[in-house]
């Protein structure tokens, strides 16, 4: 399969038509081999328009258009310190590393974290590092962050993560599971968190982000 051609078609047919116009982001998505970040037997499906399963445990690589629009909405600057929550095999981290000063890629699945670390090293990404820990707890050791990307859907955004957003910083994610969800942008203004919807999007809800069930008496 000609992956370079598939990558170009992904950008031209899925990413650009959905209002992704940041030239740095488009260049990163044209260059980074998405097929390396999926299971070998699914490499031919790496550029399809949809979420792609990474394992049998319910983890997915978000569809290209959603990755592009989330990162563009985050307005990544070359001075930003970024936390990529649920980095999976590291695809979103590789893109962010092209745009930001530094990236902390957080993954709680040991196998996925190992693969992400290996792939980022093989690709010469020296400003991103993979750490292991709970998604909902974030990675307070290197907080605060200019940007936090949660690479999947959540039913709610925990205070523990919002507290790690720097004053003036942003957090982007998808709120709500299938079939209805919204990509959301959160901003911290002197401790006050505001939010606004960006676009419609659906993805499987990540571990640790399911709302606790309330008791009914």
For the stretch 83-105, pLDDT in tens is 999 999 999 999 999 999 999 99
Question: Does residue 157 form part of some domain?
Answer: yes
Specify whether the CB–CB gap between 149 and 172 falls below 8 A.
yes
74: Cβ contacts below 8 Å, ≥ 6 apart? 147, 149, 170, 172, 185
pLDDT band for position 211 (50/70/90)? confident
Give the separation between CA 107 and CA 140, rounded to whole angstroms.
14
Listed in sequence order, the DSSP H helices in 74-109 are 91-99
Sole residue written with tokens 């993805």 = 203
Mean pLDDT score, 58-64: 93
pLDDT value, residue 216: 52
Banded model confidence at residue 138, pLDDT cuts 50, 70, 90: very high
CA torsion sign for 106, 182, 37, 206 is: positive
Residue 176 has phi, psi (to 5 degrees) of 105, 145
Q: Give CA–CA dist 60/130, Å, rounded.
A: 18
Tokens describing residue 103: 């990236």
**pLDDT above 60: residue 40:** yes
140 DSSP assignment: G
Q: Are strands 60-61 and 81-85 parallel, antiparallel or unpaired?
A: unpaired
Does 13 fall in a domain?
Answer: yes
Specify the number of domains making up the chain.
1
Confidence of residue 217 (pLDDT cuts 50, 70, 90): low
Q: Can you say whether the dihedral through the CA atoms of 64, 134, 126, 3 is positive or negative? A: negative
Provide the pLDDT for residue 178: 65
- 213 within some domain: no
Predicted local distance difference test score (pLDDT) of residue 55:
86
Residue 180 sits in which domain range?
A: 3-200
Identify whether 152 is part of a domain.
Answer: yes
Angle between the 91-99 and 64-73 helix axes, to the nearest 10 degrees? 30
Report the predicted TM-score, pTM, of the whole model to 2 decimal places: 0.94
With respect to residue 215, please indicate whether it lies within any of the assigned structural domains.
Answer: no
75 assigned to some structural domain: yes
CATH number of residue 76's parent domain: 3.40.50.150
Residue 216 lies in a domain: no
pLDDT at position 215 over 80:
no
Q: Is residue 69 part of a domain?
A: yes
- Measuring CA to CA, which residue among 118, 200, 202, 78 is closest to residue 152? 202
Rg value, the chain, Cα: 16
Dist CA 85 CA 64 (whole Å): 17
Residues comprising the chain, all counted? 217
155-198: per-residue pLDDT in tens?
999 999 999 999 999 999 999 866 779 999 999 999 999 999 99
């Amino acid at each position: 399969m000609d992956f370079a051609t598939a990558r170009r078609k992904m950008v031209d047919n899925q990413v650009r038509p959905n209002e992704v116009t940041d030239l740095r982001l488009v260049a990163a998505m044209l260059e980074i081999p998405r097929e390396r970040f999926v299971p070998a037997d699914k490499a031919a499906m790496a550029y399809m328009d949809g979420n792609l399963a990474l394992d049998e445990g319910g983890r997915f690589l978000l569809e290209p258009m959603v990755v592009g629009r989330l990162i563009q909405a985050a307005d990544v600057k070359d001075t930003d310190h970024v936390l990529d929550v649920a980095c999976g095999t590291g695809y979103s981290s590789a893109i962010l590393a092209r745009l930001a000063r530094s990236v902390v890629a957080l993954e709680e699945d040991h196998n996925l974290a190992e693969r992400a670390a290996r792939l980022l090293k093989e690709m010469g990404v020296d400003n991103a590092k993979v750490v292991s820990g709970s998604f909902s707890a974030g990675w307070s050791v290197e907080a605060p962050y200019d940007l936090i990307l949660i690479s999947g859907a959540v039913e709610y955004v925990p205070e523990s993560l919002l507290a790690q957003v720097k004053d003036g910083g942003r957090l982007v994610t998808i709120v709500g599971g299938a079939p209805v969800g919204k990509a959301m942008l959160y901003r911290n203004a002197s401790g006050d968190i505001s939010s606004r919807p960006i676009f419609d999007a659906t993805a499987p809800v990540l571990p640790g982000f399911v709302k606790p069930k309330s008791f009914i008496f």
